[in-house]
Amino acid sequence: MDLGVKDFCITNKPEKFENPRYFQRSLRRLKIRQRRLSRKTKDSNNRKKARVKVAKIHEKVVNQRLGYQQKISLKLTNENQVISCEDLNIKGMVKNPKLAKQISDVAWGKLLTLLEYKGDIYGCEIKRIDRFFPSSKRCSNCGYIKEDLTLKDREWTCPECHAHHDRDINACENLLQFCDGYIEWEASKSTPKEMVEIPCIKTVTP
Ligand SMILES: [Zn+2]
């Protein structure tokens, strides 16, 4: 399983789960409510009511996101005996402001926690793989590492064996091969990929 922004997660079957972007979708409503809240007089009853309305939007997003993650983790742990995925060290990740907002909406960390929790119940082992393993840059056909692959390259052709890859499905293939012991990987050889910081979404209490 590979985790992405455009698609929430992708498996080697291949199967793609889209990213519903619940936070982005509520952003307009949230801005309106927050503006109204800012106009209310301090300590007034109307201000209290307005604050509850803002909090409810945040709560809805959290619930929608959790519901979606519950559904995916249930399906994946029911259908598989082993799932290998990247071990995302979300807290330790480096900044990329462009992506940060999108990724906080994707909330991979929660999915991994849910997978492990449900995996215990349904007998599915979750294998976390070294996050420096170049799952996207490696050609799953011949092992060539395409160092200049960027986040924009959704598809690419291997210059060595000319295999054409869908970026995410190729990454899944690599994670699976790694998990099965086909690939030996030394951490020292690896190049950290572009990483991002995950800001936590807090309820606004002005
Ligand atoms: Zn190749």
User: Each residue of 93-137: pLDDT tens digit?
Assistant: 545 666 666 666 677 888 989 999 999 999 999 988 877 778 889
Q: Is residue 167 part of a domain?
A: no
Q: Is residue 183 part of a domain?
A: no
The boundaries of the domain holding residue 31 are 2-131
Q: Is residue 127 part of a domain?
A: yes
Provide DSSP, 159-177. Answer: TTT--EEEHHHHHHHHHHH
Residue 170: how many other CB atoms lie within 10 Å? 28
Q: Is residue 29 part of a domain?
A: yes
> In the chain, how many domains are there?
1
Q: Is residue 52 part of a domain?
A: yes
- Determine the distance separating the centroid of ligand 1 and the alpha carbon of 160, expressed in angstroms: 5
State residue 188's pLDDT score: 39
State residue 2's pLDDT score: 86
For ion ligand 1, residues whose CB falls within 5 Å: 139, 141-142, 144, 158, 160-161, 163
Q: Is residue 194 part of a domain?
A: no
Res. 167: pLDDT tops 70: yes
pLDDT band at 35 (very low <50, low <70, confident <90, very high): very high
The model's pTM is: 0.76
Q: Is residue 77 part of a domain?
A: yes
Among candidate residues 15, 168, 184, 197, the one labeled active-site is: 168
Q: Is residue 63 part of a domain?
A: yes
Q: Which residue has the higher pLDDT, 49 or 6?
A: 49
